Structures are given as structure tokens and as C-alpha cells.
Amino acid sequence: MAHRSIQPCLLLLSCVSFIIGVNGLNYCFHSLNAFGAMWKRTISGTLGIICLLLSLVTVRISTLRIADGHTVITAILHYVLINCTLLRNELRMRDYHSAWRNPREAQEKLLQDIIQKNGDTVYGRQHKLKDVHFLNDLRKTHPLTTYDHYRSYIDRMAIGEKGVLTSEAPMRFALTSGTTGKAKMWPYLKSYISDSYKIMYGLVSAITFKTFNERSLLQQDIWLYTAPKTRFTEGGILMGPGSLIAPWMKKFLLIFSTPGEGFFISRPFEATYIHLLFGLRDRNLGGIMANFTSNLMSAMRQLEHCWQDIVRDIEHGTISYLNLESDVQKKFSKSLGSGDPERAAELKTEFEKGFDGIIRRVWPHIHYINAVDSAGLKGVLLDTYAKGVPMYAPGLGATEGMMGINLWITSGKDEFVLLPGYTVFEFIPEENMEDETPETLFLDELTIDGVYEIVITQLFGCYRFRYGDVIKITRFHMNTPVAEFMYRSGQMLNVVSEKVDQRTVQEAMCAAVDQWPDVQIRDYAVAESTLLAELDNRDKTVCPYYIVFIELDQDPDSGDIDQDQYCLIDSELQRLSFTYKSYREKGCIATPSVHIVKPGTFSLLHDFILTNTTTTANQYKVPRKLRTPQMLRLMLDNSAVRSNTFGRMAEL
């Protein structure tokens, strides 16, 4: 049902529009034989049709569950925007289905489009791209590449040189998060951005509404977004993450509970507070969006500490001690109005009960949480804050592009049908990933249960690029593979060629800590001991080992966990990884050194990375593998309890 404050207004508007519409059409039709200007009849007829349509729309809107923050105007605009998006996507579904039925044909066509657009560039001429007509031609003539292959070309584009990698000038440069090393920068084109929005907002929205068909079109969502700091290249071209919200998008943000100004706050604490404030004001909230589950976890932990302030602000229509510009704060205060004591009292009652299942309790009409689980926090969230709320990842992708889309968002398992019409794919079988020049397979050559590293060719100028994600094919949708994400190749632990992926590490950590007394794991990260040599120039010939950092849900005394329990991490790694076990038995890898860190250490790591790298708050993922001496030093400085193992002794 509609929000109580605007339902009468909607019904009144419907009646007035109906009366005006009927009178307008009546004048138009009854004046056909009368002397009078044609333009008068045309205007009255057009106005009549518009008013009758408005009457129908407002009647329809009045029957829906509407976000508490909507006005009559924003509710109508929201309704029109969503329906236009769904209609446009319905028209495009024929293309998606065609590509899924004939993936090889779609791939060949996409490659031809890319070559046609970029064949006559500096890069295209140097690599004779115009001689490439089919996928096999590209595989035979162009080498597999990494980012260093493109660095000099992108540097030239960044200072403003045209026609280097792409014929189309970039609108902006998209920065990666640097999860597997130094951040990369890719030129985003207007045509590429347009295609991305069609998938990210068009197709994803359509899947969401189709799946949760009871969800009102006019419920708003929270999007836990923090604006990146504005940066420009030497040539004056904007740089930012792939998910950057540009100022021109502000008019489309009315589908979210936060006023538009809230999406341009660059301080994570303030941005999250504002999103939570306006989201919690709305009892009819429909969903939560976060780039990653780690963003949602951070928001929930922040809520635990500041819920009293948020409740007070909702009650009185105020903004607490946030560091905001005065004009922005005034706009937020205006949006809050005089406050909502009834909603504040309702929230206070729920928060005082604790935070177990809090999301469903404060938002009884919520339908889903939309977040990618790259940090392995989905299970923890579903067991705590998000009990009873469906959680899913909408797609498989990153700054380098959207690779797949999740059509089965209520299945409980994140699987993605690949997108043959959007990215040109090749795949390296997992067993060949370490080969110097591995053979690749095309989309129609994959097999169920096969594990592959993704190689991509994209419109913005990368060809046969080793993207780094490793996937497993679980089945086929029509004739196109459906994949689940396995791990990132750059996040593997590898001190003596054992190559332990992060999925195995996570499973081992959780299995080991589950056997510890009365504690649960909150976060973890692992470093290779070889990184210590960079930290203090120590002897690199010491038997290498893993340095494990774990933050628990409570601060344990040093006697709570004995040495045998620390050794469970080593035991679980050996149980789950044959190669790790083999090297341990040969004495090539020493026992892990385990550190229990002080509470809040991973928050310090979060702040350190946002301050010292190009990673933005929206891109942040807990680095399960620590890659720099500075990160390792921060974690060692915050160690509270250490295991007494060989690794520990070598570390000392």
C-alpha cells in the first residue's frame, strides 16, 4: 500500500487528471464540425490523453508499497523510470537469448566489431589487427598479454594522444582496485559505458523484478556507495573506479533511499552514515546493494556503534556530528523534515534486542541483498545480521568488464551465465596456467566441471588479456557455459611452487577456527614469509612458511588457545591441498606462524589501504594475501598473541 502521507494526494491527482482528460477529449471530438482553430483541438486532445494516462498511472501507484521518502512527483518519476528500464530490457532480451543459443556466432561478430572499430589505431597497425577476421586468426597471430603489454599505450592516451588503442576517445579512465598487485588503468569509452549500463542496470533490474515479483516497483534500495576522490590524468581526463557515479547520473538516483547528494560524499564513515540514516528512515525498504560483502559487513559494524545517533537523527530530523559541507547538510536536513518519532521508537526497540537478524527486523519488507562475495563473508552475514534475507551476486566481472550474469538469484549459489555478446573469451585450462605459452579454448569448447583461467578481448583495447579470474563450469544455459567463481590467480600462496588458492585457504581457516574454544573468525589474511626479507633484509634461505593473521569475535587471553589448536591450521591446509602437504612432508615449507591480532586491526588495514593506494571504499576487499612490506608491518605491529611454531621462531 502507498505511504499514508501521499496516498490521498495520489488519488486526488488521479481524479483531477481524469476530469481534465475527459473534458479535453470531449472538446476535441465535439469541436470537429465547429468553426475553430485546429491547433486548439490538437492541444486539447493531446492534453486529454496525457491527463488520462496520468490518472491511470497515479491510480496504479496508489495501490503499491511506496518508499517512505517519496513525494508524489518522485514516486511518479520512479514509476516511469523503472517501467521504461524494464521495457527497454524486454526488447533486448531477444539479443541475449540469441547470443546464448549461438555463443560462437556471437563471439565472432563481437570480435569483428572490435577489429572494425580499432583496427586502424596505432596498436591495431602495429599488430596487424585488420588481418584478423576470425577467433582462430586472433589466437594464432596475437600473443597472450598482461597489463605491462599495454602500459605504454595507455600512458600515451592518458596525456591526450588520440588513436592509440581505440579510435574512440575515452570518456574517463577506470582504475582497478589493485587486489593482485599494482592498480591498472583502462580507457572507458562512451559506447562501452553505455553497454555496461544496459547490463548492470537494465538486465540486473529486470532479473530482480522478475524473481521477486511481489516486490513493489516503488520500493527504494540502499546503495552503500562512497564517492572516490576526483583525479585527472596529465591530459585532463577523469580517473576513477569502474563503478563511478558521474554527476549527470544524479537524476536517476531517485530509485535509492539516499538523496542524490549522498552519493558524492568521499569520506567512507560519513557516506555510510548518511546511507544508513535515510535507509533506516524507510520501513518499506526493498533491498540493499553493496559492491562487496565486505562493504556490507563494515556498514553493519558501523551501525552497531552509532545506531543511537541515527535513531536520534531520525526522531528529530537532524544530522549528527558529521563532517559535511554546510549546503549539503542543509539539503539532508530538508529531506528529513521535522523527524519521525514513531519510526525512531520502532528502530530503538529493535536495536536494543541485539543485532542478530537485524536487517530483516528493521526492514520487514526487504527482498534481497545484492553484493559480490569476494571476501568470503556471505555465510557470516547470513548467520548474523542478514538472517532470512536472500543474498546474491548479480554478476561476474570487474573493472575489465562484465563477464557473466546471475539469472538464478534465489538459488543460494552464485552461478553466472557468460555473456558472449559483450566480451570475447578464451580460456586456459587450470593445469596449463603455468605454461609459458598455454593453449586456449573458446567458449564452445569448454566442458562441465572444467576449471579455467579467463582470457578476454575488449572494445577498450585489450586483446587476449590474462584477466586473472579462475572459474569452474557447472552446466550450460541454452548453449552457453554457466560458471562459478573459484579464485584469482594473483592471490595464490606460493613460496615453493605449491600454489594454494584462496578458496582452499579460506576453507582451511574456517575449519581450524571452528575447532577452537568459544570463538569465531571475523577476518583473516596471510602473508608469505619471503615478504619479511623485504621488510628488514633478513636471510632469504630460511625455510619459507605462511604468516597467518586472524581477528576473532572476542579478544582471547593467550592461554585460551593452545599450540595444538594453532597447528590445526597447518593440518587443515594439508588435508585440503595435496601439493602443500607434499612440500610440508619434504620439509620444504615450515609450519605456519599464527598471529591473533587486536580487535579492529582489519579496520586499520582498511584505512591504510584507502589512504595509501588508488583503491576506493567501493572497491575495497580484504586482501587475503598481503602483498607489501607495509601491510605486513601493520599486521605484525597489531599482533596480540602468537603461536610457538617453527615459523614463529624463524620470524623472531
- 83 and 35 assigned to the same domain: yes
For residue 536, being part of any structural domain is answered with yes
- 537 and 622 assigned to the same domain: yes
pLDDT score recorded for residue 38: 66
pLDDT score recorded for residue 541: 56
pLDDT one-digit tens code per residue, 357-409: 999 999 999 999 999 998 788 988 999 999 999 999 999 988 888 899 999 99
Helices then strands (H, E): number in the chain? Answer: 22, 19
pLDDT score recorded for residue 30: 67
- 49 and 165 assigned to the same domain: no
Final residue of a structural domain among 469, 489, 509 = 489
- 243 and 385 assigned to the same domain: yes
The DSSP H or E segment spanning 482 is: strand 480-488
- 375 and 424 assigned to the same domain: no
Q: What's the rounded Cα separation, in Å, for the pair 310 and 362?
A: 13
Final residue of a structural domain among 366, 392, 418 = 392
Position 262, amino acid: G
For residues 442 and 107, the answer to whether their CB atoms sit within 8 Å is yes
- 503 and 585 assigned to the same domain: yes
Q: Between the CA of residue 391 and those of 301, 496, 521, what are the distances in Å? A: 18, 38, 20
Selection from 438, 456, 449 nearest residue 398 by Cα: 456
pLDDT one-digit tens code per residue, 413-437: 999 999 999 999 999 999 999 888 9
pLDDT score recorded for residue 355: 96
> What is the residue range of 134's domain?
102-170+408-489
For residue 401, being part of any structural domain is answered with no
For residue 609, being part of any structural domain is answered with yes
Q: Are strands 593-597 and 231-232 parallel, antiparallel or unpaired?
A: unpaired
For residue 1, being part of any structural domain is answered with no
For residue 175, being part of any structural domain is answered with no
Q: What's the rounded Cα separation, in Å, for the pair 403 and 456?
A: 9
The DSSP H or E segment spanning 242 is: none
pLDDT score recorded for residue 3: 45
Final residue of a structural domain among 60, 94, 128 = 94
Strand partners, 451: 472
- 509 and 559 assigned to the same domain: yes
DSSP H helical ranges for 404-529: 502-513
- 578 and 458 assigned to the same domain: no
Cβ contacts of residue 356 below 8 Å, gap of 6+?
A: 384, 385, 387
Structural domain total, the chain:
4
Give the strand order in the sheet containing 287-292: 221-223, 287-292, 368-372, 391-392
For residue 158, being part of any structural domain is answered with yes
- 542 and 622 assigned to the same domain: yes
For residue 162, being part of any structural domain is answered with yes
For residue 344, being part of any structural domain is answered with yes
List of the chain residues with pLDDT < 50:
1-3, 648-652
- 376 and 501 assigned to the same domain: no
- 331 and 412 assigned to the same domain: no
Other C-beta atoms lying within 10 Å of the C-beta of residue 422: 24
Other C-beta atoms lying within 10 Å of the C-beta of residue 143: 9
- 25 and 68 assigned to the same domain: yes
